[in-house]
A and B are shown apart, each in its own frame.
Chain A
Amino acid sequence: MEPGLRTFAFGLALVCAVAAPAAAQWLHVPQPGIPRTADGTPDLSAPAPRTPDGKPDLSGIWQRPRGVPPGTGGRDGIAEGVTVLFQPAAEAVYKARGDNNSKGTPSERCLPHGITKAFSVPEPFKIVQTPALVVVLHEEFNHHRQIFIDGGPGALSRASDASRGAARRAPTSFGYSRGTWEGDSLVVETTGFVDDTWLDFRGHPATDALKIVERYRRRDFGHLEIQFTIDDPKAYRQPWNVTMGFDLLPETELIEHICENERDSAHIVGR
């Protein structure tokens, strides 16, 4: 049995409460240009919009659908229903984190979640898309992430400069991301991670050998899907895939959310 499952909701709620702003209130920001149904509500099944250069426009504020467990939690974290073949050392780490109610996750200390964990939280994120750069603004912790797009104006030279310097570039929680359009999907490859990534709140570990490939597809106006491929031969015997769906939150805005765990760090428990 996995211990601590009962305390998951409480523990997560406490961590979130510690990080949350005192007053969070929904903002209404009218967007006159968006497609609407006959009764005037945003038409979430309308076709996905496109940018002036003809690419799918991923811009918008997105959130995990209601009813999905917080943090995509549960017994197996983001790997719910997925077969994950661990390397022995990684399996031991994973088991120890389970035994320890996943205490010690980097975000307890306000460190960035990293890619999959940041997308697994209930708080929304915003995509800002330009031809050369896609920015993800995560509401949680007010952290941003950049994806450099190959083939965008000025992007090639920047990306190649950066890959030349990749060996010298210090590893980071979000890594270094390069994106390419393949048809209507944005395919993003990220490497350059720190050696102690938690892929989810449950504690799937990853090493500095981690490569994450994401495929972003905006199915229609109101729905975005990201397929993640986790490839880390030091931690897993074979790559594994996770798909997360997101719903558009039209006509609103992100609410600032700063990690203030330092105020209450002594009270943090595991999950």
Chain B
Amino acid sequence: MPSIPARWIAGGIAIVLLLCGVGSAQEPAAPRTRDRNPDLSGIWRSASTRYLTDLTAGSARVALQPWARTLYDQRRAGKGKSRPSDRCLPRGVPSMMLARNEPWKVVQTSDAITILFHESLHYRQIFIDGRPFPDDPAPSWFGYSIGRWEGETLVAETIGLTEETWLDEGGHPHSDALRVTERFRRVAVGRMDVDVTIDDAKAYAAPWTVTVRFELLPNAELGERVCAVAPVDDSKN
């Protein structure tokens, strides 16, 4: 349970759950947009909870640098105490994508992939209009993401993520050198596979990649679910 008073206000989540269906991986190939790129539009959710719990999925090949190992062990010993999401703060990239009970919607134009999160009514943008990264992006919870099409794959790269985010709920840390690469592949109408690469030489000895599967929620719509801090108690001021 959160150590700081916070509560979720669920508006419309019932609708999401009522209308949820699970996309079948046996469907025909993914649709295309007017500009003939793969169309990633739809409402998606992680097919499992394992990557949110532990992004490495238990892989022993992920080698933490000593300071990162120490911090990770502290977080695990603290059973997730001070986890940002317990204080209504965003989980960041890639963690925000990984909660099975928090779907997200892709709105695709020729300039950007906009991802609308069910969680906290937040959004992130992946710019595919050819712009470069800003020279020195201010650290932020969702970072700055640019993407490009490589054949059937959307390759999104994200930098500028605040060190406050955890890569997963288990507490895998990262530094300001983090670069996240997500390779989105809609392999069927109802299925999207995303290769997530964590490249952070300050925190990990080598880049590492996991493949997370997402399933389409057809005929669903996002609700409004926001995390609220407790009302201010005047008596304690």
Q: Which residues of A contact B (CB under 8 A)?
A: 21-25, 27, 29-30, 52, 104, 108-112, 128, 130, 133, 135, 137, 141-144, 146, 158, 161-162, 165, 168-174, 194, 253-256, 258-263, 265-266, 268
Instruction: Given A144-B123, A170-B12, decide whether A110 and B232 contact each other with a Cβ distance below 8 A.
Output: no
Q: B71-110, CB under 8 A of A: which get 1 and which 0?
A: 0000000000000000111100000000000000001010
Contact B134 A261 (CB under 8 A): no
CA gap between A144 and B18 in the complex, in Å: 22
Contact A265 B221 (CB under 8 A): no
B188 interfacial contact with A, CB 8 Å: no
CB distance from A80 to the nearest CB of B (A): 28
How many residues in B have their beta carbons less than 8 Å from beta carbons of A?
47
B226 interfacial contact with A, CB 8 Å: yes
Instruction: Given A169-B15, A256-B140, decide whether A261 and B229 contact each other with a Cβ distance below 8 A.
Output: yes
CA gap between A263 and B142 in the complex, in Å: 19
* B88 CB contacts on chain A under 8 angstroms: 110, 259, 262
Contact B87 A262 (CB under 8 A): yes
Interface residues of B in 1-54 (CB under 8 A from A): 4, 6, 9-15, 18-19, 34
CB distance from A179 to the nearest CB of B (A): 15
B114 interfacial contact with A, CB 8 Å: yes
7 A-B pairs with least C-beta separation: A172-B224, A262-B229, A256-B140, A172-B11, A144-B123, A170-B11, A23-B138
**Pick the contact of B228 from A29, A111, A168 — CB < 8 Å?**
A111
**Pick the contact of A142 from B19, B122, B221 — CB < 8 Å?**
B122
Contact B232 A268 (CB under 8 A): yes
Contact A29 B226 (CB under 8 A): no
CA gap between A21 and B160 in the complex, in Å: 13
CA gap between A189 and B114 in the complex, in Å: 23
Contact A173 B123 (CB under 8 A): no
**Pick the contact of B134 from A27, A30, A104, A169 — CB < 8 Å?**
A27
Contact B141 A258 (CB under 8 A): yes
CA gap between A135 and B114 in the complex, in Å: 9
CA gap between A73 and B108 in the complex, in Å: 36
* B232 CB contacts on chain A under 8 angstroms: 108-109, 265-266, 268
Contact A168 B224 (CB under 8 A): no
* B236 CB contacts on chain A under 8 angstroms: 266
B210 interfacial contact with A, CB 8 Å: no
CA gap between A253 and B12 in the complex, in Å: 30
Instruction: Given A130-B109, A137-B125, decide whether A168 and B114 contact each other with a Cβ distance below 8 A.
Output: no
Instruction: Given A258-B141, A265-B229, decide whether A143 and B122 contact each other with a Cβ distance below 8 A.
Output: yes
* A104 CB contacts on chain B under 8 angstroms: 231
CB distance from A119 to the nearest CB of B (A): 16
Contact A255 B138 (CB under 8 A): yes
Q: Which residues of B contact A (CB under 8 A)?
A: 4, 6, 9-15, 18-19, 34, 87-90, 107, 109, 112, 114, 116, 121-123, 125, 127, 131, 134, 138-142, 219, 221-224, 226-232, 236-237
Residue of A nearest to B121 (CB): A143
* B138 CB contacts on chain A under 8 angstroms: 21-25, 255
Residue of A nearest to B117 (CB): A144
Contact A135 B107 (CB under 8 A): yes
CA gap between A7 and B142 in the complex, in Å: 34
CA gap between A176 and B124 in the complex, in Å: 21
Residue of A nearest to B108 (CB): A130
Contact A112 B12 (CB under 8 A): no
Query: What are 15 pairs between A and B in contact, CB < 8 Å?
Result: A109-B229, A111-B228, A128-B109, A130-B109, A137-B125, A142-B122, A165-B18, A168-B15, A170-B11, A172-B12, A172-B223, A174-B224, A194-B11, A258-B89, A258-B140
Contact B121 A170 (CB under 8 A): no
CB distance from A42 to the nearest CB of B (A): 16
* B10 CB contacts on chain A under 8 angstroms: 170
Contact A256 B142 (CB under 8 A): yes
CA gap between A24 and B107 in the complex, in Å: 26
* A262 CB contacts on chain B under 8 angstroms: 4, 6, 87-89, 229
CB distance from A51 to the nearest CB of B (A): 10
CA gap between A135 and B177 in the complex, in Å: 32
CA gap between A52 and B89 in the complex, in Å: 39
CA gap between A197 and B230 in the complex, in Å: 18
CA gap between A214 and B6 in the complex, in Å: 33
**Pick the contact of B219 from A161, A172, A173 — CB < 8 Å?**
A161
* B219 CB contacts on chain A under 8 angstroms: 161
Instruction: Given A142-B123, A169-B12, A262-B87, decide whether A112 and B229 contact each other with a Cβ distance below 8 A.
Output: no
* A268 CB contacts on chain B under 8 angstroms: 232
